[in-house]
Amino acid sequence: MANDVAMFFTGEESYKGEKLIYPAASRNQDPILQVLKRFIICDADNIEDEESPLFLEIASGSGQHVAHFAPNFPGVRFQPTEVDDSLIGSISYYANHCKTKNILTPMLIDICNNLSAYGFEENSVDYMYNANMIHISPYACTVGLFENAGNYLKPDALMITYGPYSKDGQITPESNVQFHASLKARNAEWGIRDITDLIKLAETNNLSLMDTIEMPANNKTLIWKKN
Ligand SMILES: C[S@@+](CC[C@H](N)C(=O)[O-])C[C@H]1O[C@@H](n2cnc3c(N)ncnc32)[C@H](O)[C@@H]1O
């Protein structure tokens, strides 16, 4: 699995020193940040004595996303995670070079497992974030993501997912149809997921779709709220 994902990036990624640079992440990190600025509350006056909010990223990949987001929310603790241990070095590089020092040590997490296996308590996470994993992993990973969000997010807390999605069984535009076919050709268990199916999965996990934001390159950011 991890090898398959690494192969997916062959030819697209490049090493600069110890860090990985995914061109797609370089392109989409700022549009995603602009969305996060609408949904993340980062007001130091409001958190006062409480522990700062925890932003848990599942499937951090290179680590670029949290590196780009964290300096914009200095009052939030960013926890990057990955299932592929070969990526932890790159994520650590970005975390160690973060000027605001609010990126925690990356954790090895397989989202198919219950987050209690990694020391998380139920109803303890303020934000969950996942980019570009749902379509590049077996559906069991999406089920794990939603089950964990339902159990480990605080009440009213948000999960933010980013990537390409179909709606009511329709994949649009043609480039995403071709992308879906290329994913299936690589791994029959991969593929663009349907928002209608995800809404049903969310409902069984005490989550609801709060917002859908159209993003560049035919992607979407979906905002899920724990009920
Ligand atoms: C296409 S990459 C996306 C990386 C990063 N989020 C980004 O947008 O640049 C997909 C990532 O999902 C991770 N992944 C696949 N299955 C996973 C699982 N069961 N649990 C956690 N991460 C997983 C892979 O290791 C890979 O790093």
Closest CA to 22 of 136, 140, 101, 99: 136
Q: What confidence score (pLDDT) does residue 4 get?
A: 32
Distance 111 CA to ligand 1 centre (A): 10
- Strand locations in the chain, DSSP E? 14-16, 19-21, 54-58, 77-79, 81-82, 107-108, 125-131, 153-163, 165-166, 193-194, 207-215, 219-226
Residue bearing the CA closest to ligand 1, atom 10: 133
132 lines ligand 1 (CB under 6 A): yes
pTM of the prediction?
Answer: 0.92
Strand-strand pairing, 193-194 and 219-226: unpaired
Distance 44 CA to ligand 1 centre (A): 31
Q: What confidence score (pLDDT) does residue 60 get?
A: 98
Where are the domains positioned within the chain?
2-226
Q: How far apart are CA 30 and CA 49, in angstroms?
A: 31
Q: Helix, strand, or coil here: 172?
A: coil
Q: What confidence score (pLDDT) does residue 51 get?
A: 82
Q: What confidence score (pLDDT) does residue 41 get?
A: 85
CATH 3.40.50.150, domain 2-226, yes or no: yes
**pLDDT tens digits in sequence order for the chain, 227 residues long:** 233 333 344 444 544 458 999 999 999 999 999 999 999 986 555 555 568 999 999 999 999 999 999 999 999 999 999 999 999 999 999 999 999 999 999 999 999 999 999 999 999 999 999 999 999 999 999 999 999 999 999 999 999 999 999 999 999 999 999 999 999 999 999 999 999 999 999 999 999 999 999 999 999 999 999 99
Q: What confidence score (pLDDT) does residue 224 get?
A: 98
